[in-house]
Amino acid sequence: MIVSAGRLWLLTTASSGYVVRLDADDTPRCAHWGPPLTLDQARDLPPGAEELPVEGGERFGVPALQLRYADGVRGAEWRFLGEELDGERLVLRLADRHYPLEIGLHYRLRGEVLERHTTLVNHGDTPITLLRCDSAAWSPPGREAWRLTHVSGEWGGEFRLRRTPLPVAETVLTSRRGHSGHEVNPWLMLDAGEATEAHGEVWSTALAWSGSWRMTVRREHGGGLTWSGGHGHDGLTWRLEPGGRAETPVFAGVYSPDGFGGASHRWHDYLRDDRLRPVVYNSWEATGFAISPGQQLALAERAAALGAEVFVVDDGWFAGRSSDRAGLGDWHADPGRFPDGLEPLADAVRALGMGFGLWVEPESVNPDSELARTRPEWILGQPHRRATQVRNQLLLDFSRDEVAEWALGRLDHLVGRYGVAFLKWDMNRPVTEAGDDVWIPYIRNVYAVLDRLRAAHPGLLVEGCASGGGRADPGMLARTDQIWTSDNTDAAQRLAIQHGYGHLYPAATMGAWVTDSPNAQTARITPLAFRFHVAMAGALGLGGDLLRWSEQELAEAAGLVARYKEIRPVIHRGRLDRLGEHAVQYSHEDRVVVLIRRPSTLLPATAPVRPRGLEPGAAYRDEDTGAVHHGAVLLSHGLPQPLPFDATSTLTRLRRLR
């Protein structure tokens, strides 16, 4: 609910309150972000930190908005124009006191999440340079100490959770790579050093942007904390032309009074929909670039027998693509490998009862491709600069509308011609040699292509990927159904990756394959059940070379896929509770599923895994053993952990009895 009271606005969710006030200079300030307050209580508050700090005056913090007008003058001085309040949406309209610049501060409540973004309009007849244009700045009430929680990583090791005391300094989280990045994901959580998984206050924000970005957190002497964030990395500037309008991505915020778990529940509710994701078989780890129709069909037959619902042909199906040296850009079936086209394979996959899926990387081009030879002017680059090749490839300049139109045309053709049910959209190289005017329109055109493709093919599922989890963010998740979390499919290592991913993103969006043992990346040998119990915690997929699996393994795998399908509504729609790094609980309606995984006995034995949120007075039946447990006993004593060896695991299914 949003209440307007003169120069004060009170935005309230079930468990949070946010108060914006205008000070005597018309500067909008955050007077409160925390537990809900009444209007009377809100009126008592001091004005607080700025909602969108600008340059100028006695300000020496992090500017969220840095402007330079044509005459060289910088900064802004606020003048309030008015409000627009419509249900759960609020816009505060402001202008500069002198220059013809209008600024909109936008707020929208969606459940427990407060979405914020900023718009700028240049009403003048000279351009305005934007040196920084963040979506929002955030400021919780002061505390003695502050602690930062975020995820960092690398290729094959994304989403590693970090929790560190925050120095009295400015701390920057950023991607300069043109995608949201393996190195750090665009969200953060802050607490006063006391919060736990289920208790204590946590303030959290996430940016819905899939290009480069920056968040700067400033802890001051005296307990003050503010942070500002938005698209674009340091040094990037934009021009706001006369009559031009700029709109930032959404930078959303969550206040949790019940710990990091409470913050995750709120993000999951916001980012989740009700749809169950299919069991996908993907051929990448099994066949790499060495693809043939017969071998793909043989894999498809085995995948179907195991219960896969979609069969995805990964990289290697298109013209000239026998290694990563050639082919990107030429999005038609390779005539050598598929002399009859892809139709026979697509039809055979459908005849087996599965949807047909394809891998694409629409933003990239190999110099050795027809596209590069015929359209060299579409390749992203700068005069007098070397064209950097990463994985032997360059990027197309997606900021150009004709490039985006071409990509949409190719994808639309592929999806229509082959009846593609599932598209894996990959992006395997960062943006380099790009001018200031490329970075933001590039991503907007990626979004536009995805939006238009999906509008034209409403049943199409899309998996977002950038060399694994390099482009996972709320902006990409708004346009895709799931994310390929990491190229590292070692189940033991995957636990930490999934633990970090799940802090913000829902389980249904977390692509997770069961692959071969020994694992292709780490050579680790693990039992099949352990690999399944790790991958079942998200959107289960299969990625192994099924042609090498024994009859016994295939039979066991078929049983585990069936078991997963039975618990899938609980995993995909339920509330996720982390019971430590290696155990997760999902609760939906009267059902509870707990997955406990023990990757190594070198780790200290864990305390009993105690489920959360059960009704103490209710009884719960173990659906596998038939044993009936009291909720109070489970809450207090936990579940048994019969895990005496490396890479062992349990799956417990409980149903609450009336």
Sole binder of ligand DGJ in the list 30, 465, 529, 647 (CB under 6 A): 465
* Both tokens assigned to 126: 């000279």
Taking the least distance from each CB to ligand DGJ, the nearer of 431 and 576 is 431
Question: Which CB atom, from 117 or from 471, has the smaller least distance to ligand DGJ?
Answer: 471
Residue 483 C-beta: closest distance to ligand DGJ, Å:
10
In angstroms, give the least distance from the CB of 289 to ligand DGJ: 8
Nearer to ligand DGJ, 426 or 577 (CB): 426
Residue 204 binds ligand DGJ (CB under 6 A):
no
Q: Which of 48, 42, 52 is nearest to 8 (CA)?
A: 42
Query: How far apart (Å, rounded) are the C-alpha atoms in residues 648 and 249?
Result: 43
Cα–Cα distance list, 384 to 258, 366, 396, 430, 433 (Å): 55, 20, 18, 20, 10
Active-site entry in 334, 397, 487, 490: 487
Whole-angstrom distance, CA of residue 140 vs CA of residue 203 = 7
Contacts of 180 (CB under 8 A, 6+ apart): 186, 209, 210, 211, 213, 466, 470, 471, 472, 473, 475, 476
Nearer to ligand DGJ, 63 or 357 (CB): 357
Q: Which residue in the shown chain puts its C-beta closest to ligand DGJ? A: 315
* Stretch of 26-34, 125-133, 208-216, 463-471 contacting ligand DGJ, by CB under 6 A: 463-471
Q: Collect all residues with Cβ–Cβ distance below 8 Å to 93 and sequence separation of at least 6.
A: 80, 81, 82, 83, 84, 102, 103, 104
> CA-to-CA distance for 99 and 131, rounded, in angstroms?
16
Nearer to ligand DGJ, 393 or 526 (CB): 393
Q: Which two tokens stand for residue 358?
A: 């394809």
Q: Does residue 481 touch ligand DGJ according to CB under 6 A?
A: no
φ, ψ for residue 110 (rounded to 5)? -130, 100
23 is catalytic: no
Q: In 476-613, where do the E strands start and end?
A: 482-484, 510-514, 539-542, 575-578, 583-588, 591-598
Residue 529 CA neighbour count, 13 Å, CB half: 15
- Cβ neighbors of 656 (< 8 A, separation 6 or more) are 590, 591, 592, 614, 615, 618, 619, 620, 631
**Residues within window 427-446 making contact with ligand DGJ, judged by CB under 6 A:** 428
Q: Judged by CB under 6 A, does residue 317 bind ligand DGJ?
A: no
Nearer to ligand DGJ, 51 or 314 (CB): 314
Residue type, 198: A
Contact flag: residue 422 with ligand DGJ (CB under 6 A): no
Cβ 276 to ligand DGJ, closest distance in Å? 22
532 phi and psi, to 5 degrees?
A: -65, -45
Single residue of 430, 441, 468, 631 touching ligand DGJ by CB under 6 A: 468
Q: Is 467 in the site for ligand DGJ (CB under 6 A)?
A: yes
- Beta carbons within 8 Å of 41's beta carbon, 6+ residues apart: none
Smallest distance, Å, CB 314 to ligand DGJ?
Answer: 5
Convert residues 44-83 into a mask of x (bound to ligand DGJ by CB under 6 A) and - (unbound): ----------------------------------------
Name the one range near ligand DGJ by CB under 6 A: 118-126, 465-473, 529-537, 597-605. Answer: 465-473
CB of residue 250 to ligand DGJ, shortest distance in Å = 27
Set 426, 481, 490, 516: catalytic member: 426
Site for ligand DGJ in 505-544 (CB under 6 A): none
Residue 424 Cβ vs ligand DGJ, minimum distance, rounded to whole Å: 6
63 versus 470: smaller Cβ distance to ligand DGJ: 470
Q: In terms of CB distance, is 308 or 639 closer to ligand DGJ? A: 308
Does residue 29 contact residue 59 with C-beta atoms inside 8 Å? Answer: no
| Residues numbered 257-316 forming contacts with ligand DGJ, rule: CB under 6 A | 284, 314-315
Which pair of tokens denotes residue 294? 């017969």
Should residue 487 be labelled a site residue for ligand DGJ when binding is judged by CB under 6 A?
Answer: yes
Nearer to ligand DGJ, 251 or 359 (CB): 359
The one among 159, 331, 359, 447 contacting ligand DGJ by CB under 6 A? 359
Q: How far apart are the first and last CA of the chain?
A: 35
- Residue 9: DSSP 8-state: E
Alpha helices in 205-258 (DSSP H): none
Residues making contact with ligand DGJ (CB under 6 A): 284, 314-315, 359, 426, 428, 465, 467-468, 484, 487
Active-site residue numbers? 426, 487
